[in-house]
Structure 1
Amino acid sequence: MTNPSTLYRGGVLHSPADPNATALLVSDGRITWLGVDADAPAADRVVELGGALVTPAFVDAHVHATDTGLALSGLDLSGVRSAGELLDAVAGFAAGLPADAVVLGHGWDESRWGAPQLPDAEVLDRAAGGRRVYLSQASIHSALVSRAMLAAVPEVVAAAGFDESGWVRRDAHHVVRAAAFASVTRAQRVAAQRVALAHAASLGVAAVHECGGPEISDEDDFTGLLGISGAGVPEVYGYWGELGGAARARELGAVGAGGDLFADGALGSRTAHLSQPYLDGEGVGHGYLSAEQVREHLLDCAAHGLQGGFHAIGDAAIGTVLEGFAAVVRRLGVERVRAARHRIEHAEIVDKRLIAGFVEYGIVASMQPAFDRLWGGAGGMYESRLGLARSLASNPMGAMHSVGVALAFGSDSPVTPVDPWGSVRAAAAHHSAAQRMSVRAAFAAHTRGGWRAVHLDNEGVLALGAPATFAVWDTPAGVDRGLPVLLADDPELRGPQDPTPLPVCRRTVLRGDVIYEEGSA
């Protein structure tokens, strides 16, 4: 028995296959007709678009759904601008919790504070009324924790990255994070996941790539999320980041053994592995993998027929990963390696030599344009960590696109918010004009690029026979050649803070099913 057909008509369609199309017919989850209103066939149902724009739905190629849901429904610290504001937020939130609860918060970013002095563990104890406190930094590679939290995991004092002040990094952070999230019940996790996926759908996102692994989530969390994939919410494609864990990744239902398999840390926590020292701290960060470990992991992936990948931000870490790739190519040949479409997440500090490695080995660069918008440019966190020249050369999406690197855009939510049109604009308005790319190319990276990254090459287009996965938009700034206007007419206003209003999602459709409709409960 076939499902009722639905005709969407009276819109503006982003369809290179038929640029004049104003309507499409959906039958059994696919686009079965595309054209102008006057030629539209009969349908069981008709949806009047009223001039709205219809585009392929977005794919967010790097998320942490449970963390995102907890941030959306919990203590959001992204807006605090001082230690005092942070403490006030903790005190207010903790007051409504039981005495034995753990205060979970996320998003503080001291690089945006006027005085970057952090509160210590004792002060957090007082603010939370003696409760255990875990507050992840925006990068999720370090956290502020209370004295009570440290006392609950005494083994943390022996872990690399421990600091008695309560700002924990590296292995110490993983130890404390695991203990903090152990307090979240299964029911709370499921609720958080549904909040995160529903929020993504409301922004025109029909699929996400979940980056899980033993250092950032647990197996039940991961498989539970995969279990609700596409059930009235966006589809979830899972990556399990465990070294040598290809067999386990397959057992868990992952599409790849990668994602947040850490080759280094993050710039915000000064743990990204760089070839040159940080300007505002000692050393060059930390590399967590050797080229030999990279090689063995990729060989393990090949043996199990899985895509592999690594989290690598700094140029030294990316260099190590590419050295491992070169060793695998010597064993398997370059065509087999390219066919796997292995991934590197983030790829923030990359020079021409390293970009050439992405091209040679067919590596997908899973990148987050919002990183440059939030932390790039003069006066930003990248400048304080790296200096202005290195800052402007970071997140080189335009340079990578120009030489054919496959790009898949995402948010790394909750590190940055799910904000697909904002990310498209950020890529087109990079702080460095040399790193900008067109709105059209950025849109493709955030739609079709995400599907191709999981080997679904026929997704992400409005074309006859394609899956009916799309979003309907109000476009307050207008439409230009099938895409919304995202940049100001005045070149002086163009940039990361461009004032042009972004599109608003009215409906998101996944394989013919409506997973979000404006105004619905």
Structure 2
Amino acid sequence: MSTLLTKCDPRHIVTGRARYLLRKDTLVHAEILLENGWVYSGNDAAPVQASLAIAGGRILAVGTGDVIDATVGAGTQRVDLRGQLVVPGFQDAHIHPIFAGIEMLQCDLTGVGSAEEALAAIGAYAEENPDEPWILGAGWSMDLFPGGTPLRQQLDAVVPDRPVFLQNRDHHGAWANTAAFEAAGITAKTPDPDGGRFEREADGTPAGTVHEGAVDLFNHAKPAVPYELAYRGLLAAQELLLAQGITAWQDAWVPIPEGEHADNLQVYMDAAAAGDLRVRVTACQWWDRTAGISQLEAIKSRRDTVAAAIDPLQLDANSVKVMVDGVAENYTAAMHHVYLDHHGQHTENRGIEFFDPAEMKEFVTAIDAAGMQVHFHALGDRAVTDALDAVEAAREVNGPNDNRHHLAHLQVVRPEDTRRFAPLEAAANLQALWACHEDQMDTLTLPFLEPGAEQRHYPFGELAAHGARLVAGSDWPVSTADPVAAIHVAVNRRSPGSDAPPLGPESQQLTLKQILDAYTQGSAWINHREAQTGTLEPGKLADLAVLDINLFELPLEDLHRASVTQTWIGGECVYQRPATAALPETEAAQ
């Protein structure tokens, strides 16, 4: 009869590459043995041919030969990997699963290839859902429309009778029809709000596209997101993410709900209590730019409520999201240099910062003093400077601590700021999939930035060279959540199959190990779970992904060919690719 591992003894026996755990001097038998494959532990330079034994939800042994054989008992389930690669489970450090799941259940425009396809999809959705008072959804790409700004009349032609409000792919803007503007009471006389703007017709009438803070002016009129829809959205998102090998994430936008909107933090808590939440989640609470420093008390209270009710290995809420600026495509990313106009001439626009830098230093210092992490959206180089200044101010007042602040996106960073991350212990949160030439980059971004800006884009290699800790995420649903796709771009600086040149100099490319570690142990560290996850070694939780191809044996231009066949969390297989895809065999030990 197998002995189950309930609490790992720190004593390890190591024989070459083979390791196993003892408890009370008795060998613990494996419940699961993954064998005949490659194992990338995260502690080695590359994968090794090895087996991985699991007991009690944790890794019992990683190795080969007699030592591994000794862990196998009569009840051990043996999984033949057939040469596949086992890696630590991917952990997405910047993602929006509940919002993405809701959008999957609404009018989902992700992947449409033209304006005509988008309009056809909207019309079809409206026809299939005649009882919905508003047509809501997201996912359209700005490069499908001239200037990235579609018109209300285009929507009026397919849905004339109901309001339509559709956020774009990056969720920093939206497309609305005439009925939606009327329902929200927005007219030619409505001024642009602080931190946002309307595209307008010649007489001032809103043209159909709204940016940043202007999106919020529809909130009072749109239907609230009901709890049941948010819960279904979480489960739909989780199913998709498990199929991509993701075992943990940091949800980068969990707000205190307004009105009748579902409380996403409560959704997470309820799903955890019901056993429906399979992944490990850090809920990053939203810092409302209009609420001031007084909101910190409510944020701390919500953090403490989660901590009292849920195992922190499953769910915690000790992170705060601060949106410093916008995005470059609509000229709201905060830059040191002014944007250029369509003729290449200087404008007076340097983007939008949603907080005065002095104010941000004050509340970041207060968040830091409360023992909470700050997760910055900092896309433009001026936003990066001011976010680092805020971290530095907190360090000067509060001293060093283990809060692990991080800056996400980092599209443009000044050389002098890439050197500041390591001394400030601020992590660089990379959305690597964006670091390549694509239509939105080449038509809506690079032409409007200072000359030479391409060389400063997504300076991952420079950050790594200066000692910055790298973590990784997708920002899904802004772009795919697939870690393999992001890994491919981080290494190649071009998208799969593209004949475009790499984005920026070769020095900005990451090695395969650097980006794979960022997506596993780096993100585990940022979520304060590195003691339990992020690498494959005895005593840690058996959170892992199985890839059909050994990434380290592929030519770099073929990294995207790999895909996930299995995902394991706590020693349980929570995703297995359908049988038609030639899965590994699982059988009882003989």
TM-score by length of 2: 0.78
SS at match of 2:225: coil
Contact kept, 8 Å, 2:148 with 2:444, in 1: the verdict is: no
> CA-to-partner distance for each residue in 1:44-96, whole Å, 9 max, x for gaps?
22222222111111011111112221343443334445433332221122111
Q: Does structure 2 conserve the Cα–Cα contact (< 8 Å) formed by 1:94 and 1:129?
A: no
Amino acid at match of 2:90: F
CA shift at 1:37, angstroms? 5.4
Partner secondary structure for residue 5 of structure 1: strand
Distance in structure 1 (CA, Å) of the matches to 2:221 and 2:524: 35
Q: What is the CA–CA distance in structure 2 between the aligned matches of 1:445 and 1:500, rounded to whole Å?
A: 16
Of stretches 440-449 and 294-303 in structure 1, the one that deviates more from structure 2 is 294-303
Q: What residue number does 1:469 align with?
A: 543
CA distance in 2, matches of 1:374, 1:516: 33
Alpha-carbon distance in 1 for matches of 2:177, 2:299: 34
Distance in 2, Cα, partners of 1:408 & 1:234: 18
Pairing partner for 1:278 from 339, 354, 359: 339
Return the offset for 1:21: 4.7
CA distance in 2, matches of 1:2, 1:101: 55
Number of the residue aligned with 2:266: 223
Give the structure 1 partner of residue 497 of structure 2. Answer: none
3-state SS of 1:15 partner: coil
The residue that corresponds to 1:144 in the other structure is: 175
CA contact (8 A) 2:95 2:252 kept: yes
Moved more, 405-414 or 454-463: 454-463
Partner of 1:188: 229
Q: Any residues of structure 2 matched to 1:47-58 within 5 Å, and which?
A: 47-58=79-90
CA distance in 1, matches of 2:98, 2:460: 28
The one-letter amino acid of 1:518's match is: R
Answering whether residue 240 of structure 2 is matched by residue 199 of structure 1, we say yes
The answer on 1:406 being equivalent to 2:406 is no
Structure (1 or 2) with the larger CA radius of gyration:
2
Counterpart-to-counterpart distance in 2, 1:200 and 1:323: 35
* Structure 2 SS opposite 1:405: coil
Distance 1:207 1:378, change over 3 A: closer
1:319 matches 2:385: yes
Partner of 1:269 in structure 2? 330
Shift in alpha-carbon separation, 1:197–1:305, aligned structure 2, 3 A = same
Which SS does the other structure have where 1:292 is aligned?
Answer: helix
Q: By how many angstroms is 1:407 displaced? A: 1.4
CA distance in 2, matches of 1:391, 1:457: 34
Aligned-CA RMSD value: 2.8
In the superposition, relative to structure 1, how do residues 179 and 67 fare at CA in structure 2: closer, same or farther (>3 Å)? farther
Given that 2:227 and 2:262 are in contact with CA atoms closer than 8 Å, whether structure 1 keeps it comes out as no
Please say if residues 83 and 118 of structure 1, whose CA atoms lie closer than 8 Å, have aligned partners that are also in contact: no
Instruction: Tell me what 1:492 maps to.
Output: none
Moved more, 244-253 or 428-437: 244-253
Query: Judging changes above 3 Å, is the alpha-carbon distance between structure 1 residues 324 and 302 closer, same or farther for their aligned structure 2 residues?
Result: closer
Q: Distance in 2 between matches of 1:358 and 1:451?
A: 18
Q: Is residue 176 from structure 1 mapped to residue 218 from structure 2 by the alignment? A: yes
Separation of aligned partners in 1, 2:298 and 2:364: 14
Contact 1:246 1:256 in 2 (8 A): no
Aligned with residue 450 of structure 1, among 509, 513, 523: 523
Stretch deviating more after TM superposition (368-377 or 192-201): 368-377
Structure 2 SS opposite 1:400: helix
Please state whether the residue corresponding to 1:461 is helix, strand or coil. Answer: coil
Aligned to 1:460: 534
The answer for the alignment partner of 1:83 in structure 2 is: 115
Change (3 A) 1:97 1:486: farther
Deviations 1:263-301 (A, max 9, x none): 111112221111112224651211111222222222222
1:441 to partner: Cα distance: 0.5
Q: Percent identity?
A: 23
Offset at residue 27 of structure 1 (A): 0.9
Query: Is the Cα contact below 8 Å between 2:380 and 2:413 reproduced in 1?
Result: yes
Q: Quick check: which one's strand share is greater?
A: 2
Query: Superposed, which structure 2 residues align to 1:377-396 within 5 Å?
Result: 379=442, 381-386=444-449, 389-396=452-459
1:463 and 1:238, CA in 2 relative to 1: closer, same or farther beyond 3 A?
A: same
In structure 2, the CA distance between the partners of 1:275 and 1:422, relative to structure 1 (3 Å rule), is: same
Q: Specify whether residues 285 and 418 from structure 1 end up closer, same or farther in structure 2 by C-alpha distance, changes over 3 A only.
A: same
In 1, Cα distance between equivalents of 2:96 and 2:459: 24
Q: Which residue, 22, 25, 40 being the options, matches 2:53?
A: 25
Does 2:72 match 1:42? yes
Specify which of 287, 299, 304 is matched with residue 249 of structure 1: 299
SS in 1 for 2:541: coil
> What corresponds to 1:239 in structure 2?
284
Corresponding residue of 1:328: 394
Counterparts of 1:350 and 1:306 in 2: how far apart (Å)?
25
Instruction: Report 1:339-350 matches (<5 A).
Output: 339-350=402-413
Q: CA 1:183–1:197 in 2, change beyond 3 Å: closer, same or farther?
A: same
- C-alpha contact (below 8 Å) 2:335/2:383 kept by paired residues: yes
Q: Is the 8 Å Cα contact of residues 144 and 168 (structure 1) preserved in structure 2?
A: yes
Match of 1:258 in 2: 320
String of CA shifts for 1:401-447, please: whole Å, max 9, x gaps: 11111111111000011110111111111222221010110100011
Please say if residues 486 and 502 of structure 1, whose CA atoms lie closer than 8 Å, have aligned partners that are also in contact: no
Letter in 1 for 2:156: D
**1:487 corresponds to which of 542, 556, 562:** 556
Q: Is the 8 A contact 1:211 1:238 kept in 2?
A: yes
Verify the 8 A CA contact 2:365 2:391 in the aligned structure 1.
no
**Would the aligned equivalents of 1:82 and 1:116 in 2 still touch at CA under 8 Å?**
no
Q: 1:219 to 1:89 in 2, by over 3 A?
A: closer
Structure 2 gaps, min length 5: 6-29, 200-205, 307-315, 494-502, 581-590
Q: 1:256 to 1:290 in 2, by over 3 A?
A: farther
The whole-number CA distance in structure 2 between the counterparts of 1:126 and 1:380 is: 27
Q: Deviations over 1:340-379 (max 9, x none)?
A: 2112121221011112222221111212011123648983
Secondary structure, counterpart of 1:319 in structure 2:
helix
Shift in alpha-carbon separation, 1:324–1:190, aligned structure 2, 3 A: same
Q: Does 1:515 align with 2:574?
A: yes
Partner SS for 1:199: helix
Helix, strand or coil: the match of 1:10? Answer: strand
Letter in 1 for 2:264: D
Shift of 1:471: 0.8
* Number of aligned residues: 500
How far the C-alpha of 1:183 sits from its partner, in A, is 4.2
Partner in structure 2 of residue 162 of structure 1: 198
> Hey, what does 1:123 align to over in structure 2?
154
**Cα gap change, 1:399/1:87 in structure 2, threshold over 3 Å: closer, same or farther?**
same
Equivalent position to 1:439, from 512, 517, 535 = 512
Partner Cα distance (1:117, 1:360) in 2: 39
| 1:236, distance to aligned residue in structure 2 (A) | 1.6
Cα displacement string for residues 434-477 of structure 1 (whole angstroms, at most 9, x for unaligned residues): 210101101000111111001222221111112111011211xx
What is the CA–CA distance in structure 1 between the aligned matches of 2:59 and 2:537, rounded to whole Å? 7
TM-score of the superposed pair, with normalisation by structure 1? 0.88
Structure 1 counterpart of 2:539, which letter?
G
Cα pair 1:174 1:216 within 8 Å, conserved: no
Shift of 1:145: 0.8
